[in-house]
Structure 1
Amino acid sequence: MITFEESLKQMQLDNFNGAVSMFEQALQTVVDSQDIVKQKYAAAAFDVSVNSLKSWVKQGCPEIRLESGMVLYSKKAIREWLLQYQK
């Protein structure tokens, strides 16, 4: 038989897990809505590896190189570049 304390503990755990899930979804929404991102996030947005993204750049995919050496990517620009090859 489940005690009141065990039931309460399970309810608190369920509430906590629900809150964590909502937080993760909100964070993912923010990340997805950003257009200018670092290499890792650009690759993830297109479900490819970082090496594939680097290969795309060699083929003409646009990238943003800052004076500091940091490389950023516009998901919109990559999407437009990819659509050029749509048949």
Structure 2
Amino acid sequence: MTTIDEKLIEWQKENFNDVYHTMKEALKDVKEERDVVKQKYCANYFGVSVNTLKSWVHMGCPEIRLESGMVLYSKQGVRKWLLQYQK
């Protein structure tokens, strides 16, 4: 026979798991909504390797290079550049 305390603990665990998964999905959505991202995330977004992304830059793909040396990409800018090659 389960006690009220056991039921309460079970209910709290279920609630925590629900909230945890909701927050995890919300954070994932926020990350995907950002336009300016680091190299690795941009490559992942377009389903290519970092080397392919670097190759695109040599072909004219826009990149943002900060004074610190950090390289960023606008997903919208890359998408616009890619669409130039659409036939």
Task: Give the 3-state SS of the residue equivalent to 1:37 in structure 2.
Answer: strand
Cα deviation, residue 6, structure 1: 5.3
- RMSD of aligned C-alpha atoms? 1.8
Q: What whole-Å deviation, never above 9, does each CA across 1:35-71 have from its counterpart, x for those lacking one? A: 1111111112212222221222122211011111111
How many residue pairs are counted as aligned between the two chains? 86
| Distance change >3 Å, CA 56–CA 7, structure 1 → 2 | farther
TM-score normalised over the length of structure 2 = 0.80
Task: Give the 3-state SS of the residue equivalent to 2:30 in structure 1.
Answer: helix
Distance 2:41 2:48 in 1: 10
Specify every segment of 5 or more residues in structure 2 that has no aligned partner in the other structure, as ranges.
Answer: none
Distance 1:49 1:14 in 2: 39
Please state if 1:78 is matched with 2:82.
Answer: no
Distance 1:47 1:6 in 2: 47
Identity of aligned residues (%): 60
Specify every segment of 5 or more residues in structure 1 that has no aligned partner in the other structure, as ranges.
Answer: none
Distance 2:53 2:36 in 1: 15
Aligned residue runs from structure 1 range 2-81, under 5 A:
3-4=2-3, 7-81=7-81
Distance 1:49 1:23 in 2: 29
Distance 1:17 1:48 in 2: 33
